[in-house]
Each structure stands twice: as structure tokens, then as C-alpha cells.
Amino acid sequence: MDIHIYSEIGKLQGVILHRPGCELERMVPGNIRDALYSDILSMEIARQDYAVFEGVLQKQTKVFYVRELLEQLLADAEARKQLTEKVCRIHQVDLQEKLDALTVKELAGVLIEGWEERDSIGRHYPIPPLYNLYFTRDASASLYDEVIINRMRHSVRNREALLMEEIFRRIFHAETFRPDSGHNIEGGDLLVAREDVLLIGQGDRTSRAAIEDLTRRYLSKNKRQHIVVQELPVHPESFIHLDMVFTFLDRDACACYLPLIAKESRYRTTVITIDGGQVSYREEPTLLQALKKLRFDLEPISCGAPDDEWNQQREQWHSGANFVALEPGKVIGYARNTRTIDQLNRHGFDVVPAADVASGKVTLDSHKRCVVTLRSDELPRGGGGGRCMTMPVNRENVIW
């Protein structure tokens, strides 16, 4: 499947997922902060919730799984050798011979779940588990017809980027690139609005220097490009990425955390325009106003009750603004954010339970606009929503 992402809402043709596995059970109170979590998740409950989520996507699009793609890659002896050598270098371990002795399935498991060793002190992981891998959005990002391999803010996620790079290069035969320098950038901060408009969040996970790296890349392509940069708070941790406060729902609608996206604040919105070999910068009062000048007439649908800032904070904490579009006007998000779902319904989105879609009880064809609601207790506690858990590789073009 070719890489083709020219919007956030075009009909989804292909997506990469990862089912949460026993890597989650390798979190203990002593390492949850290092694993970038706020709490310990139940693997069994998380997998039950996730099965419904993936069931919806299987009904709507072609689904690829990281583990299966990795096994396909490791079946090639040369690719396997190069990948395991890189893994040993990243973690500074001498485990090459032991990795060489594993079957393809065993090795794929180790690369995701970690290499466990036990001694008199207890168990430890010279190759640590990839606790965050079910958030497939972050380690790479499909931008138009190529894939950026991101530089993760925290080293515990570095191997995710390595695995995604190898998968895209060797399985999808995609054109991949890394930022020119060692500056951090993550996929949750990258939103492809249109063929000429890219949104980027600047905060704890994505630096201004990385955005300048990307600006230079598009300058070298000699094409007209707008990059809208939204500065984000570093705290609380729920503001980790731009897609935690803003996502596209339709050609004329978006979900957003109003205090940051629709109201003026101390967090800057900057529009970088690349045209004719020149780069210009201008500031705008809000992200919505910046997008309006770029011909996006978006109705902002509030994350949480629009007249209750306390509720907005509560629902934003559990990914209330984080939706992924299956096609224009058809999105999936968490049912627990009841005020947000109510706001979508008031704006013409039918509310469809994810379990009914996954089971085949209902289809989305009869709905002009809808929000598929995923009942989940564990997945939101990991710190991400539907967009975070999906890595689209291909969408149909949108007629604006």
C-alpha cells in the first residue's frame, strides 16, 4: 500500500495498529513514571477494550499489525541481522548470539515485550518493554507521500521509532526521512490538514528546532506550504501533543479544548509560509483564526461542556478532544467523555456504540455524520485516544 495522507479526514484505506500485550504487565509502581504512565493498566481489560476498537477499524479499512509486519521483516535474514545489531547498540547490550537463536515469532516478541533476565535481586530488562507501542501514532508519521521517522522525547520510546523505520522501508517500501538534527518531534503533534497545510504542536514532545528542520525540508521541495505551529503547555501531562487538544472531525468541524484553541491565551499560534523559496512568519490570535485565514471554516465542538471549564479539564484529561476520522464526519472516540459526546450529538453526529459496529449489528453507511463511542476503562488511563492508537498509511483524497 502506497503512503498517501493528504488530510486528517479522508476515507481511511489502511492503518497500522498494535494490540496491547504483556509489555503492559511488565510495569510496576517503581517504573511507571519511566514508562511514561500515571498508573498501572490491566492488560486483560485493556485488551478487551482494544478488541472492540480494532473490530470497528477492521469493518472500515485495511488493518496492519506491528507484530505481524515485524515477523514478516524478520523472516529476511539480512534485515533481521541489521535490526538486531541496531537494537543491541541502542541498549548497549551484548545479546546478539541469544537473539540469533530465537525463532522469528520469539524475536518479534522480545523486540516488543523486552528481554527479561532474572538474578538474585529480581527480574530486569536489558532490552526494555515497549510500554507505549499501542500508541502507534507517535514514533512515525505519514506526511503526504512519505514518512517521517520521529525522534522521541524519551529514550524509552527510541526502539519504537527504529522498528517503524524498518517496517516502512522494508515492508511498505516507503520513502522515509528523519529530522536533520537530534531535535525531538512526535507524531501526535503532526496533523495533515490539507495538501498545503500542516499543523504542528510545539511543547514538551516537539521542539521549535525540530519544526525549523521540517520547514527547511519543505523549503527544499520548492512547493507552497503553510505550517501552523500551536504552542502547548508543558503541564499538565494531558497536553502532551496537539491532538490531545485539537482534531479534525469533518470538512467544517473540529473537536477542541476551547481555552487553548478557540480563545486567546499566552500560548502562541504562528503561521510559517513557504513560497517561492522564501519563508515568512506571522502570529495569529488563535489556532482557529489561523485556520480560517487558510480557508478552513471550522465549527469548534467543545471537549467537555462549553460552559463548564472544570468539566472541560476533566474530559480533556481522558482524551476528550482526541478523535480519529474513519471518513469525513465519521469518527471514533471514548464514550466516557459524556459531555463531549453530547456536544457532537448536538452538532448532528449520531451516537453509535463501537461494540455494535465491531459485531456487525450496525453499519456506518446509513449515517451522514456519526461518532462511534468506545466504552473503555483502561485505554484512556494510558494517556491517549483513538488518534493516538492509529497510524494511518493511506486515505482517500478529500474534495474540499
Choose among 20, 21, 40: nearest CA to 29: 40
Residue 387 grid cell: 488518534
DSSP annotation of 32 reads: T
Residue 396 grid cell: 482517500
Residue 34 grid cell: 519511566
> What is the pLDDT tens value at each position of the chain, 400 positions in all?
999 999 999 999 999 999 999 999 998 888 888 888 988 899 899 999 999 999 999 999 999 999 999 999 999 999 999 999 999 999 999 999 999 999 999 999 999 999 999 887 888 899 999 999 999 999 999 999 999 999 999 999 999 999 999 999 999 999 999 886 779 999 999 999 999 999 999 999 999 999 999 999 999 888 899 999 999 999 888 999 999 999 999 999 999 999 999 999 999 999 999 998 899 999 999 999 999 999 999 999 999 999 999 999 999 999 999 999 999 999 999 999 999 999 999 999 999 999 999 999 999 999 999 999 999 989 998 999 999 999 999 999 999 8
Pair type for strands 12-17 and 62-65: parallel
Choose among 361, 334, 383, 270: nearest CA to 36: 383
Contact, 149 vs 139, CB < 8 A? yes
Distance of alpha carbon 89 from alpha carbon 96, whole angstroms:
10
Position 180 scores a pLDDT of 67
Sign of CA dihedral 309, 311, 313, 316: negative
Distance of alpha carbon 12 from alpha carbon 324, whole angstroms:
10
DSSP annotation of 237 reads: G
The domain segmentation of the chain, as residue ranges, is 12-70+129-395
Choose among 389, 390, 377: nearest CA to 39: 377
Neighbours of 307 (CB within 10 A): 8
Choose among 135, 227, 229, 261: nearest CA to 188: 135
Position 365 scores a pLDDT of 94
Q: By three-state DSSP, how is residue 301 classified?
A: strand
Distance of alpha carbon 237 from alpha carbon 85, whole angstroms:
34
Q: Write down how long the chain is.
A: 400
Contact, 184 vs 153, CB < 8 A? yes
Helix-then-strand count for the chain, H and E? 12, 20
Position 285 scores a pLDDT of 97
Distance of alpha carbon 226 from alpha carbon 231, whole angstroms:
16
pTM value is 0.96
Instruction: Tell me which H or E stretch contains 337.
Output: none
Contact, 194 vs 251, CB < 8 A? no
Where b means 16+ CB within 10 Å and e means fewer, 315-326 reads bbbbbbbbbbbb
Pair type for strands 269-275 and 278-284: antiparallel
Give CA torsion, residues 74, 76, 80, 82, to 10 deg. Answer: -140
Contact, 393 vs 61, CB < 8 A? no
- For the chain, strand residue ranges (E) read 12-17, 62-65, 115-118, 123-127, 140-143, 146-149, 176-177, 190-194, 197-202, 225-231, 246-250, 253-256, 269-275, 278-284, 299-302, 324-327, 330-334, 350-353, 370-374, 391-395
Q: By three-state DSSP, how is residue 188 classified?
A: helix
Residue 130 makes CB contacts below 8 A (sequence gap 6+) with 23, 111, 112, 113, 114, 157, 159, 160, 163
Compute and round to an integer the Cα radius of gyration of the chain: 21
Homologous superfamily of domain range 12-70+129-395: L-arginine/glycine Amidinotransferase; Chain A (3.75.10.10)
